[in-house]
Copies of this chain bind each other. A is one copy, B any other.
């Protein structure tokens, strides 16, 4: 990324700020109407032309003002945006909302999505924290009907999953409890891999249970993906860049595709990451940006959370808001699940 003169930086910054606010291409004269730069419009024009040559700005057409490119936004985010912190007032409103929340993870995630989307007027996506190496906490086998048993698996950390199994032959509740006890004492605290390795003496039925158990623990079933909480999609669609229904559609279908979402959300993230205009990888997001962060306890359980808006997004606010909410959620995770 080439070096820009101070004045060029100033011009770029102002163009971006004003464009974010108005969604209109910014002309040299317009820029001077609201900002005194001590120079004339001709000078600004020259600088703008230079910035365009370097790829930071474009023209929609000859007689229109300038619009930032993705590269322009990128420069803005990385060089011109100071290290912003969320204003205390905002912090308080957000924290306040979280303090009223209940004690279940699902509610926290729903709340996080709501807070993010409300505060950013954009779409929010939040995934549940996923254990790095899920371990068995407790297994219960409850008989329901004659030939059925309900298998309830509590993970270390508190996640719960259940499966309804068909039995090949009827089994008494007492026997089921015995089996559960045996498996608990054998495998309590272990992860999927250790359980698979540990070849104790087991019946065929127990092997079946273990198969389900390890399947759940290793998380290679698709339900997890559904655990994406979304909110505020309609907010984004109100932005002028989505007036054209084709644009709006691309976005909606992208957000509906689980595969796409998981790809975006599982990207490794350190601190807060900003994906601008799909950054070449995701064509569907050509006019969108995503501000993403991972939250949770590293190496133990982490989830992702972020805001999606038009590239013309207030990055400062977005970054600080996402960081703040991610920190809150991290506290939540380490608090609830223990270290």
Contacts and interface: CB of A to CB of B under 8 A. Distances in A.
Contacts of A140: 138, 140, 154
Nearest to A105: B164
A49 interface: no
Contacts of A314: none
Contacts of A18: none
A142 interface: yes
A218 to B, nearest CB: 14
A233 interface: yes
Contact of A154 (B110, B152, B233): B152
Contacts of A152: 138, 152, 154, 160
A297 B339 CA distance: 44
Interface in A87-131: 102-107, 110
A232 B339 CA distance: 40
Contacts of A252: 233-234, 237, 252
Copies of the chain in the assembly? 2
B137 A142 contact: yes
Contact of A158 (B137, B138, B162, B336): B162
A218 B152 CA distance: 21
A103 B163 contact: yes
Interface stretch (A32-40, A201-209, A238-246): A238-246
Interface stretch (A21-29, A219-227, A268-276, A319-327): A219-227
A46 interface: no
A164 B104 contact: yes
A77 interface: no
Contacts of A145: 338
A234 B253 contact: yes
B234 A104 contact: no
Contacts of A103: 163-165
Given A158-B162, A163-B104, A144 B226 contact: no
A226 B158 contact: no
Contacts of A337: 144
A148 interface: yes
B248 A106 contact: no
Nearest to A338: B145
Contacts of A154: 140, 142, 150, 152, 162
B338 A148 contact: yes
B338 A110 contact: no
Contact of A245 (B222, B231, B232, B237): B237
A256 interface: yes
A214 to B, nearest CB: 15
Given A142-B154, A238-B245, 10 more contacts: A102-B221, A107-B221, A137-B142, A150-B158, A158-B164, A164-B336, A233-B252, A234-B252, A234-B256, A237-B252
Interface of A: 102-107, 110, 137-138, 140, 142, 144-145, 148, 150, 152, 154, 158, 160-165, 221-223, 226, 229, 231-234, 237-238, 242-245, 248-249, 252-253, 256, 336-338
